[in-house]
Structure 1
Amino acid sequence: MTTHLAAMIAVGLLMGAGLWLCFVRLPVMRKTSFAQRVEPQLRSVDSRSRLLEGEGPGTLFGPLERIFRLVLSDAVHRLGRFNVSVRGLGVRLEQAGRSETPLEFRAMQFLCAAAGLLAGVVGAILLLWQGTINFMGAVVLTLAPMVGGYLFYDYLLGARTKRRQAQMLSEFPALAELMALAVSAGESASGALDRVARTSNGVLSQEFGKVLAQTRTGVPLVEALNQFSARVNVPALSRFVDGIGVAVNRGTPLAEVLRAQAQDVRDVAKRELMESAGRKEIGMMVPLIFGVLPLTVVFAVFPGLALLQFGF
């Protein structure tokens, strides 16, 4: 197979796929839903197409943007049929603090994969046209950006989750001390939590605000805290929730428990810092042994070898 023939086949496949997508998305090819069949009998039908109505200054491309929104919404709902891990993804999105639904996340993930596929196809066609790559290399170059875009968007979610959990851990000792101070002054557990959420800013205080919002709707404080613990999935905060639950149910002193938990988190942070320093110290041995030490030996041995070569 020559390079020109492979390029022609690739272009033909792309054109055929585009024509097929245009054909299957025609209105006559869509299945009419029950709501669409009964809609004309429920209200008067406007003779003017709603796609031609403007949406104000927020619409940049006019009717074309509205058509794209309909196609994207339809694709998102169809994607929900094949998504087997919506529940686990929803938990990850809550841990990352993102307000989008799992289907919206998957839609954006597939859009990133499609962008990678498009870039890979363009690059493969150009390289095939120049004759610098074979057919298998073009296939790999086409699929690799697609898989990379899909995995990279998922990696961004995991990185944001870890960064948010680390931020909550860094905020927890100070907020625990504030709660202990409020409890020592006579506040209840819910009152101390309310005071801390109102007087502080940060990720953890926002989560405390969500807990208080649940309690105002009638959810018990311990149950709302348990949901908070399952949502954030941080061991230190799980121990904090258990301590508050025991203090509320059994009447144990809460201030000392909060101070002890804050000190435990500080000790864990110090230990992790020492472990990180130890790992970095070991990592610094690699350039020292393979970079600096050979140069030192060369500078030490080379004068002697030069003297032996000259016969002095």
Structure 2
Amino acid sequence: MSPVLIGAFVGALFGAGLLLVVLRLPFLRKPTMDERISPYLRDLGVPDVFVGVVDSRSPFAAILRLFGPSLRSAAQRLERILGGANSIRRRLLRAGLERTVEEFRIEQLLWGTLAFGAGLVVSVVVLTFGAGDPIGMLMFCAIFGVVGVLGRDTYLTAQVQRRERRLLAELPTVAELLALSVAAGEGPAAALDRVTKSCRGELADELKRVLAETRAGETLVRALDALADRTGLLALSRFADGLAVALERGTPLADVLRAQAGDIREAGRRELIESGARREVAMMVPVIFLVLPVTIAFAFYPGAVGIRLIAG
């Protein structure tokens, strides 16, 4: 690689960094509305998106607070570019993450920055050995950054799926425990309280939230409806709706809960059978493309060698 290209690449990086520094100078940057009114609303307290991320005594806390305004501004720009705030907010609720959309966008920026840094390290190594060109390596780093930003969104979807699987696995046991408590003579709220104290898991945490809402003045039916809307699972929605209908109409609650547990177990059994059928088809791929060609080669190779020897 020629020294001219190396110098141009380093100069472009230095110029871009210098431009960013100049643009962030206070007398060149127009203050936003939040910055202008924040001194008059200081008593209300603006929630810090970095609370709980690092310890206040950690050296990274100063770095995060130093770049916090820049990260918030970049997160707002990313939100305007990507959009989908309602979808992200709904998936954050379904994943059980107590975060805002702004915090999630900041996480996406951090993931993209780390991915860009990894691509930059690879590019420097490649350019050191004289392979590739700076423009192509810069595009490579940009692609890495975009993949990092989108990777956080994909990971959020995976978090939602894992939590939903845990909720479905815990639901039959919780329903049967509730049926036992109600059959023993306890009321619905007392049965929920007993189950949440004796169980650990995602569904127990959701039921604790339902109890907290009822203690705050919400009716149990509305709290169960909020649980169904928050989780988004069909089985859990049917469970919450059946429990709410039983409370409203006076249906025997223990029988309803036992029927709900049986239906959920049957649905899980059907899902297991369907998953096994899909895996059976997937297992045919290595058999056809790996085992079968090797078997054919072992079967025909001695015959081919024998024919060749006879012909020779």
TM-score interval for Structure 1 and Structure 2 normalised by the shorter chain: 0.7 to 0.9
Structure 1: gaps of 5 or more residues: 40-56
Say which SS state the counterpart of residue 88 (structure 1) adopts.
Answer: helix
Q: Which runs of 4+ in 1 moved over 6 A?
A: 36-39
Seen in structure 2, the aligned counterparts of structure 1 residues 299 and 248 have a Cα distance that, compared at 3 Å, is same
Q: What letter corresponds to residue 287 of structure 1 in structure 2? A: P
Partner Cα separation in structure 2 for residue 3 and residue 128 of structure 1: 10
Seen in structure 2, the aligned counterparts of structure 1 residues 232 and 249 have a Cα distance that, compared at 3 Å, is same
- 1:260 corresponds in structure 2 to 259
Q: Could you give the per-residue CA deviations for residues 16-48 of structure 1, whole angstroms, max 9, x where no partner exists? A: 221122223333344464457779xxxxxxxxx
Partner Cα separation in structure 2 for residue 299 and residue 16 of structure 1: 64
Say which SS state the counterpart of residue 99 (structure 2) adopts.
Answer: coil
- 1:190 corresponds in structure 2 to 189
Is contact 2:89–2:100 with CA below 8 Å preserved after alignment? yes
- 2:67 corresponds in structure 1 to 71
Name whichever of 115-124 and 270-279 sits farther off.
115-124
Is contact 1:10–1:125 with CA below 8 Å preserved after alignment? no
Say which SS state the counterpart of residue 251 (structure 2) adopts.
Answer: coil
Seen in structure 2, the aligned counterparts of structure 1 residues 30 and 141 have a Cα distance that, compared at 3 Å, is closer
Partner Cα separation in structure 2 for residue 60 and residue 182 of structure 1: 48
- 2:119 corresponds in structure 1 to 120
Cα distance, 1:77 vs. partner? 5.2
* TM-score normalised per structure 2: 0.84
Partner Cα separation in structure 1 for residue 39 and residue 165 of structure 2: 53
Cα distance, 1:11 vs. partner? 1.8
Cα distance, 1:128 vs. partner? 3.7
Seen in structure 2, the aligned counterparts of structure 1 residues 37 and 144 have a Cα distance that, compared at 3 Å, is closer
Seen in structure 2, the aligned counterparts of structure 1 residues 18 and 238 have a Cα distance that, compared at 3 Å, is same
Partner Cα separation in structure 2 for residue 214 and residue 38 of structure 1: 33
Q: Could you give the per-residue CA deviations for residues 48-86 of structure 1, whole angstroms, max 9, x where no partner exists? A: xxxxxxxxx94343xx85364142145315633662333
Q: What letter corresponds to residue 181 of structure 2 in structure 1? A: A
Q: Is 1:301 paired with 2:300?
A: yes
Structure 2: gaps of 5 or more residues: 42-54
Say which SS state the counterpart of residue 133 (structure 1) adopts.
Answer: coil
- 1:239 corresponds in structure 2 to 238
Seen in structure 2, the aligned counterparts of structure 1 residues 82 and 262 have a Cα distance that, compared at 3 Å, is same
Partner Cα separation in structure 1 for residue 91 and residue 40 of structure 2: 40
Is contact 1:177–1:259 with CA below 8 Å preserved after alignment? yes
Q: Is 1:92 paired with 2:91?
A: yes
Cα distance, 1:123 vs. partner? 2.9
- 2:152 corresponds in structure 1 to 153
- 2:26 corresponds in structure 1 to 27
Partner Cα separation in structure 1 for residue 139 and residue 73 of structure 2: 30
Seen in structure 2, the aligned counterparts of structure 1 residues 136 and 70 have a Cα distance that, compared at 3 Å, is closer
Q: Is 1:59 paired with 2:67?
A: no
Seen in structure 2, the aligned counterparts of structure 1 residues 65 and 195 have a Cα distance that, compared at 3 Å, is closer
Partner Cα separation in structure 2 for residue 238 and residue 38 of structure 1: 45
Over aligned residue pairs, what C-alpha RMSD do you find? 2.6
Cα distance, 1:180 vs. partner? 0.8
Q: Number of matched residues?
A: 293
Q: Identity of aligned pairs, percent?
A: 40
Seen in structure 2, the aligned counterparts of structure 1 residues 309 and 123 have a Cα distance that, compared at 3 Å, is closer
Seen in structure 2, the aligned counterparts of structure 1 residues 304 and 79 have a Cα distance that, compared at 3 Å, is closer
Q: Could you give the per-residue CA deviations for residues 104-144 of structure 1, whole angstroms, max 9, x where no partner exists? A: 11111111112222332343344345431135532431222
Partner Cα separation in structure 2 for residue 82 and residue 187 of structure 1: 51
- 1:80 corresponds in structure 2 to 76
- 1:5 corresponds in structure 2 to 4
Partner Cα separation in structure 2 for residue 36 and residue 291 of structure 1: 66
Seen in structure 2, the aligned counterparts of structure 1 residues 66 and 275 have a Cα distance that, compared at 3 Å, is same
Seen in structure 2, the aligned counterparts of structure 1 residues 36 and 230 have a Cα distance that, compared at 3 Å, is closer
* TM-score normalised per structure 1: 0.84
